[in-house]
Structure 1
């Protein structure tokens, strides 16, 4: 399993690029297609991939739905996305899911927050107690908004025995709002902190793959997602065999 904030295929290799390369976030310039091809190679080594900041087809991406593009290039039979935030007609952002297994159900939810434009995408694989629920989210920068978002997600996952919540949380797991999530669900804090931001000198563990206590989890690693400002996070999971059928 992989979680990746792909920064819409843009390149950020140092803090100064946020200013000097800001044009790449709204213009269809730079080697975005090449970046996506590199991300597709990484994604294709996994069975399920959660994406954040995937452009669903605006001007800056050359009207390419990046989740669909990565599905085709990475060898995924199933994909879905959740457009969340649009900046005029220039740029748009989405959560995405790539899977080599067929989900039984897909749901998307807008997340609460002071500024709209955040969401969580929920996919269910298998049925009953042997089912698996995968949620992909990109949380807000502000602690108060994150707290309300995590409370909303906790309600969605509270009664789910086998759940995975992955994405860009914009905070570390020791924050008070994260403790509330762990109290209300069976999700567990990761056994080790893997720093993912900034990608060129990782100092903060703000991207997470959180797993329920009934699932085995091992070999968590971070990998470059081309030249995104976040490293991608990878983990191996042991899940009920009935949950995932090709």
Structure 2
């Protein structure tokens, strides 16, 4: 990487803000202000009557002049609901799929993105609200189909999402035992991300592995971000130290 990489995780709540207004354009504006290179979004509607039938992933990506990979954790008839990874960098999909779920379905996305001529594996997920469910979902994410896959060994990894897990939770601890949490150089954590108007809980996180180092991480608390969704966006600036393993465009997994 020739310059710091800016990555952002954001639960957009179906693009419905704290004022109950549906506005994908407002969400895109919040993201654009942060100037991210890679974006992980959760709770997107695609073709749902409640949000006017639009493809929110495509709409936001187009506004940002990015491409998107969307995975529908929930798919009923023509209506879809799920998560996406957006970027203007070269990107290919490695895997998308569901996670063990009770009630609302949950899923994950795994893409390879080339940044500064170097390949990164980027993951996006949204875990459940039940503690036992989250532990099962984390175990699956760390298993051989996802982060535990042989293709991830020695690679630069970025894992983002709404984990519905505070730092003292078992699910968070399991992830933190295998990955490095993006935190400030002085060791401090980023601030709380939920609820947006009066944030009290750290539910959204960015984890790293390989030779990526976090230069800074912050929760965006602009006036627009406080109203556009029920979560605040989490932004990290990263640099790569030394040479990472793997080649861009490596074999399929």
Kindly tell me the number of residue pairs found equivalent between the two proteins: 223
Alignment partners' CA distance in 2, 1:99 and 1:225:
23
Deviation at 1:202, TM superposition (A): 0.9
Whether 1:38 aligns to 2:13 is no
Deviation at 1:211, TM superposition (A): 1.1
> What TM-score, normalized by structure 2, do the two folds share?
0.78
Deviation at 1:213, TM superposition (A): 5.0
User: Any conservation in 2 of the 1:40–1:73 contact (CA below 8 Å)?
Assistant: no
Whether 1:175 aligns to 2:169 is yes
Which structure shows the bigger proportion of residues in helix conformation? 1
Deviation at 1:114, TM superposition (A): 2.4
- Tell me which of 117, 120, 123 is aligned to 1:135: 123
Report the 3-state secondary structure (helix = DSSP H, G, I; strand = E; otherwise coil) of the residue aligned with 2:233: strand
Pairwise CA RMSD of aligned residues? 2.7
**What 5-or-longer segments of structure 1 have no aligned partner?**
14-20, 22-29
Deviation at 1:116, TM superposition (A): 5.1
Note the alpha carbon deviations across 1:104-145, whole angstroms, 9 max, x for none: 33310100122351000110135xxx6311100000000100
Alignment partners' CA distance in 1, 2:182 and 2:169:
13
- Tell me which of 50, 62, 78 is aligned to 1:60: 50
Alignment partners' CA distance in 2, 1:59 and 1:199:
25
- Tell me which of 155, 160, 168 is aligned to 1:166: 160
Alignment partners' CA distance in 2, 1:143 and 1:39:
31
Q: Which residue of 2 aligns with 1:84?
A: 73
Structure 1 residues 31 and 175, CA, compared in 2 at 3 Å: closer, same or farther?
closer
Structure 1 residues 206 and 75, CA, compared in 2 at 3 Å: closer, same or farther?
same
Q: Which residue of 2 aligns with 1:147?
A: 135
Note the alpha carbon deviations across 1:29-86, whole angstroms, 9 max, x for none: x44244344235336x11100000011221122111111011110121x211011125
Alignment partners' CA distance in 2, 1:35 and 1:196:
18
Alignment partners' CA distance in 2, 1:53 and 1:203:
20
Deviation at 1:225, TM superposition (A): 6.6
Q: Which residue of 2 aligns with 1:7?
A: 13
> What TM-score, normalized by structure 1, do the two folds share?
0.80
**What 5-or-longer segments of structure 2 have no aligned partner?**
1-6, 184-188
